[in-house]
Amino acid sequence: MASPGTGTGRAYIMCFMAECPPDRHLTPLDRLLEQADQALRASFGRPHARRPNPAAHLDGHLVDEDARRHVSGLLRVDHAGEVAAQGLYHGQALTARKPEIREAMSKAAREEGDHLAWCHDRLEELGDRPSVLNPLWYAGAVAIGAIAGLAGDRWSLGFMAETERQVEGHLDDHLARLPANDDRSRAILEQMKVDEVGHAQAAVAAGGSDLPGPIRGLMKLAARVMTSTAYRL
């Protein structure tokens, strides 16, 4: 599905509000194997984007070693965040009550897969690596997402919307901290931000409820722990 234009989430909202095909019948073993495959792909696999890299043909060569290490740290955090996003949406899909909500979460995870691939490719260009703690980020996110799904579809969608709002703020911070000459990383993060805004708008349009303040605060605290750790590890 094409990403929404800047300032709109129309395509994503249509995805959430449109009637989705019914789930095929899966046994508990099928779901277990599916979850294991998703975990391995998100944590260890080499991701492949469905959309072209928005940084193609842009310059991003960093001569200064300190700048290269700094940008690598930022992109490692962004990559870890996308691994966690995969886990959240997989967990929420696992416990969603309505088939259309389950499908919406699965679609969101697939769309976030583009971000994962772009960040992975940029880290390779910078001569660096993803976070060694990615399996931990994924496992923790699956558990949190499953709990959000068990709370009910409205709360699960609200959790999705709040997550994407916080990610938007986090991307704004990283964009401000990028070197001025790193057009390549900037293009990736800007497109990621457009997509996250679309996901948040879609979740609200599909009936997501606002989360209580203490829950939002805990989410921010968890995000700070992950970002400060993934920058180095």
pLDDT score for 118: 95
pLDDT score for 32: 52
- Give the relative orientation of helices 28-44 and 65-95 as an angle to the nearest 10 degrees: 170
Which is nearest to 228 in space by CA: 133, 124, 113? Answer: 133
pLDDT score for 122: 94
pLDDT in tens, the chain (233 residues): 334 443 333 444 334 434 344 445 655 555 555 555 555 555 556 678 889 999 988 987 888 999 999 999 999 999 999 999 888 888 888 888 888 888 888 888 888 889 999 999 999 999 999 999 999 998 889 899 899 889 888 999 999 999 999 999 999 999 999 999 999 999 999 999 999 999 899 889 988 889 888 888 988 898 889 999 999 98
pLDDT score for 26: 57
Residues 6+ apart with CB under 8 A from 201: 8, 9, 12, 13
CA dihedral of 222, 223, 225, 226, whole degrees rounded to 10: 120
62-230 is classed CATH 1.20.1440.230: no
